[in-house]
Chains A and B, each alone.
Chain A
Amino acid sequence: MITKYLISRHDKAGIVFLTIVGLMAVLAPLSNLLLPESSPLHVPTYVLALLGKYLCYATLAVALDLVWGYCGILSLGHGAFFALGGYAMGMYLMRQIGTRGVYGNPVLPDFMVFLNWKELPWFWYGFDMFPFSLLMMVAVPGLLAFVFGWLAFRSRVTGVYLSIITQALTYALLLAFFRNDMGFGGNNGLTDFKDILGFNIQADGTRATLFFLSAILLIAVYLISRWIVHTSYGKVLVAVRDAEARARFLGYRTEHYKLFVFTVSAMMAGLAGALYVPQVGIINPSEFAPANSIEAVVWVAVGGRGTLVGAALGAFAVNFMKTFFTTGALAAYWLFLLGGLFILVTLVMPKGILGLFGSMSAKLRKPGSSQPAALQPAE
């Protein structure tokens, strides 16, 4: 039933999105590896790295849209789940360095030797094995989301209060991970990675593979999210978003619905973070910064909340602008631009870029009609 669903019933935006990401997944790495640098179609390695980063951000955005756009949980701490997945990957990569570190210690990462630690802390055990690390990339964010969500949703914390405590959650983690004695490299975080699964992390082939995997992850996260929102589970989510009390009086245990989707979303964000780290080569506590999580919310809002495709689109659009503006003379004004963009989008196009496309194509088809297209996000 699920497979049948996956190949059917896609709206136009969804098909366009899947085609573009699918093509990107295959063509960009191939062009980078096979075409000569002189070719106009050659994708330089730095562009590939940049796009790979965007793909991870887009995955985070889709995960956030699942909880915010459909269930009304405005999480201002989703960056925390992304960063936790990233740290799990970082720990694996640190253990792969082995004797090639500055201090040549076969077990202890450099920063531990530097801090004069004699043995590996217990929570670093197992991270030399990839399957265990992979499990942790999903399980740690998932578990945190589950415990946090269980406490928050059971106590019926909603709306702005929930947003504030998610923000506090990521800020608390930021402060904790800054501390050297937490055992996660403190301020500097984890870096100087060498290998991933035996492949040199700097090699073009590895980078291309990581890019490919990021695109596949985005597609998978999109398809899973889309499946969730199109079942009657998704209908209950929207019902909870719009009239939670009504859903309760119908007999739905709304906190269970929220908890499940929040946990799934955190796991998705964790995987996105895990693929992000080897591509940027570092993970440090700044990834927990509240501003990062807020930026993710801006991506979703700009792209179009409650559409999934819009969230990914917004992540690409805003990050492209960020790359463009922060490398030029306008760098100092980027945050003002970002803030302005958020205000502009909220005021002028509440349904985001995708909503704009939708109403434009609706107008073309039916002049004078203000009826939005079928893929419009629900208010």
Chain B
Amino acid sequence: METIQQDIPQTKADDEEVNNFLSGERPAVTQAVLYLDGVSVSFDGFKAIRNLSLYLEPGEMRAIIGPNGAGKTTMMDIITGKTRPDEGEVLFDHGRHDLTQLDETAIANLGIGRKFQKPTVFESHTVADNILLALKGPRGPFACLYGWRNNVPAEKIDEILTTTGLLEHRNRMAGEISHGQKQWLEIGMLLAQDPAVLLVDEPVAGMTDAETVQTADLLRSIARNHAVVVVEHDMDFVRALNCKVTCLHEGSVLAEGPLDAVAGDQRVIEVYLGR
């Protein structure tokens, strides 16, 4: 598959240019930390994703918008190995790994972390233990029985709790903290995992305006040394992220580029923003 890509000039994706995918220009696979090309998947005849192409540079931040049913969450399911695509390429780390051949665990260990739409934390563990379980390190049964993870210094956990503003809640049960705090805890768990790519599904759902602003700051600081993909409906939040935006519709890319260009696109207004 690399040979197909060889003759395409290695251009860096141009933020100014909207819809570069649709105009037929495909960036080289070797530049992308995450590379999706021609991906399709259908459930019982319903095409959830059709011919989707997306590519993400190392350290890039990307917001994904689009109406309900556009395939945003399904796309994340495909990247993280929960759903196998019917066709298409899903490559990670400059084309080194074919994600369609791996399961969730293997993909997570390669360095792709995910935050779910509904905050999913381990509710009967303390906040600190949630971070402990997420920390990057050996994850085999025996490593956990008498190895590394039993001797993690508290400072390492507290550092992440400080970043996510949860330090004072470190010994509370994760089931007891508020919805917004759970969202942050899950982002903290992603940080602890220290993946190359973070997939963040609706991080500000159910948050107050102040919390939303803090979350945007948090994600922007994470994006300084990780590639981040954020799915979100809240346009103010997307604006605060100040990054390249991809609009999905009916399972494929409708428009891509800076927020203002995408938001000004006639088709985007028609199917998404105008409603």
Q: Are B123 and A242 in contact (CB under 8 A)?
A: yes
Q: Are A257 and B80 in contact (CB under 8 A)?
A: no
Say which residue of A233, A246, A248, A249 sits within 8 Å of B144 (CB atoms): A233
B146 in the interface (beta carbon within 8 A):
yes
Residues of chain A from 238 to 255 with CB closer than 8 A to chain B in the complex: 238-239, 242-243, 245-254
Q: Are A251 and B141 in contact (CB under 8 A)?
A: no
A250 to B191, CA, bound (A): 11
A341 to B157, CA, bound (A): 44
* Chain B residue, CB-CB nearest to A2: B146
Chain A positions within 8 Å of B114 at CB level: 249
Contact with B along A224-265 (1 / 0, CB 8 A): 000010011101101100110111111111101100100000
Q: Are B193 and A232 in contact (CB under 8 A)?
A: no
* Chain B residue, CB-CB nearest to A230: B150
Chain A positions within 8 Å of B145 at CB level: 228, 231, 233
Give 20 A-B contacts (CB < 8 Å), ordered by A residue.
A228-B145, A231-B146, A232-B132, A233-B141, A235-B144, A238-B122, A238-B124, A239-B122, A243-B123, A248-B103, A248-B104, A248-B108, A249-B104, A249-B114, A250-B108, A250-B193, A251-B193, A252-B139, A378-B124, A379-B123
B interface bracket (residues with beta carbon within 8 Å of A): 20 to 34
Chain B positions within 8 Å of A228 at CB level: 145
A252 to B129, CA, bound (A): 15
* Chain A residue, CB-CB nearest to B120: A246
A1 in the interface (beta carbon within 8 A):
yes
Q: Which of A1, A250, A254 has the most CB of B within 10 A?
A: A250
Q: Are B120 and A243 in contact (CB under 8 A)?
A: yes
Report A327 CB to chain B, min CB distance, Å: 41
Q: A233-B141, A252-B139 are in contact. Are A238 and B125 (CB under 8 A)?
A: yes
A234 to B120, CA, bound (A): 19
Residues of chain B from 176 to 196 with CB closer than 8 A to chain A in the complex: 189, 193
Q: Are A235 and B105 in contact (CB under 8 A)?
A: no
A233 to B145, CA, bound (A): 5
Q: Are B144 and A231 in contact (CB under 8 A)?
A: yes
Q: Are A245 and B133 in contact (CB under 8 A)?
A: no
A1 to B151, CA, bound (A): 11
A379 to B122, CA, bound (A): 11
Residues of chain B from 75 to 109 with CB closer than 8 A to chain A in the complex: 80, 82, 103-105, 108-109
Q: Are A253 and B139 in contact (CB under 8 A)?
A: yes
Chain A positions within 8 Å of B105 at CB level: 248, 251-254
Contact with B along A363-379 (1 / 0, CB 8 A): 00000000000000011
Q: Are A232 and B133 in contact (CB under 8 A)?
A: yes
A253 to B140, CA, bound (A): 7
Report A77 CB to chain B, min CB distance, Å: 23
Contact with A along B136-163 (1 / 0, CB 8 A): 0001110011100110000000000000
A254 to B114, CA, bound (A): 17
Chain A positions within 8 Å of B134 at CB level: 250
Q: A233-B144, A260-B141 are in contact. Are A249 and B108 (CB under 8 A)?
A: yes
Q: Are B80 and A249 in contact (CB under 8 A)?
A: yes
Q: Are A242 and B124 in contact (CB under 8 A)?
A: yes
Residues of chain A from 290 to 334 with CB closer than 8 A to chain B in the complex: none
A353 to B173, CA, bound (A): 23
Q: Which of B116, B122, B140 has the most CB of A within 10 A?
A: B122
Q: Are A256 and B140 in contact (CB under 8 A)?
A: yes
Report A245 CB to chain B, min CB distance, Å: 7
A175 to B149, CA, bound (A): 45
Q: A231-B146, A256-B141, A257-B141 are in contact. Are A250 and B125 (CB under 8 A)?
A: no
Q: A238-B124, A251-B105, A252-B105 are in contact. Are A232 and B144 (CB under 8 A)?
A: yes
Q: Are B144 and A236 in contact (CB under 8 A)?
A: yes
Q: Are B124 and A1 in contact (CB under 8 A)?
A: no
Say which residue of B120, B123, B140 sits within 8 Å of A245 (CB atoms): B120
A253 to B109, CA, bound (A): 10
A250 to B195, CA, bound (A): 10
Q: Are B124 and A379 in contact (CB under 8 A)?
A: yes
* Chain A residue, CB-CB nearest to B123: A242
Q: A231-B146, A233-B145, A256-B141 are in contact. Are A250 and B133 (CB under 8 A)?
A: yes
A239 to B133, CA, bound (A): 9
A254 to B103, CA, bound (A): 12
A248 to B125, CA, bound (A): 17
Chain B positions within 8 Å of A379 at CB level: 123-124
Chain B positions within 8 Å of A252 at CB level: 105, 133, 139
Chain A positions within 8 Å of B149 at CB level: 232
A228 to B141, CA, bound (A): 11
Residues of chain A from 1 to 38 with CB closer than 8 A to chain B in the complex: 1-2
B223 in the interface (beta carbon within 8 A):
no
A228 to B145, CA, bound (A): 7
Chain B positions within 8 Å of A247 at CB level: 122, 133
Chain A positions within 8 Å of B82 at CB level: 245
Q: Are A236 and B146 in contact (CB under 8 A)?
A: no
Q: Are A235 and B121 in contact (CB under 8 A)?
A: no
Chain B positions within 8 Å of A232 at CB level: 132-133, 144, 149-150
Chain A positions within 8 Å of B123 at CB level: 242-243, 379
Q: A228-B145, A252-B105, A253-B139 are in contact. Are A246 and B121 (CB under 8 A)?
A: yes
A242 to B173, CA, bound (A): 13
Chain A positions within 8 Å of B124 at CB level: 238, 242, 378-379
Chain B positions within 8 Å of A254 at CB level: 105
Chain A positions within 8 Å of B129 at CB level: 235
Beyond the given A235-B129, A249-B113, could you list 10 further A-B residue pairs with CB under 8 A, ordered by the A residue number?
A232-B144, A233-B141, A236-B144, A238-B125, A239-B122, A245-B82, A245-B120, A246-B121, A247-B122, A248-B104
A169 to B16, CA, bound (A): 63
A245 to B76, CA, bound (A): 14
Report B123 CB to chain A, min CB distance, Å: 6
Q: A2-B146, A231-B150, A232-B144 are in contact. Are A251 and B120 (CB under 8 A)?
A: no
* Chain B residue, CB-CB nearest to A248: B104
A231 to B133, CA, bound (A): 11
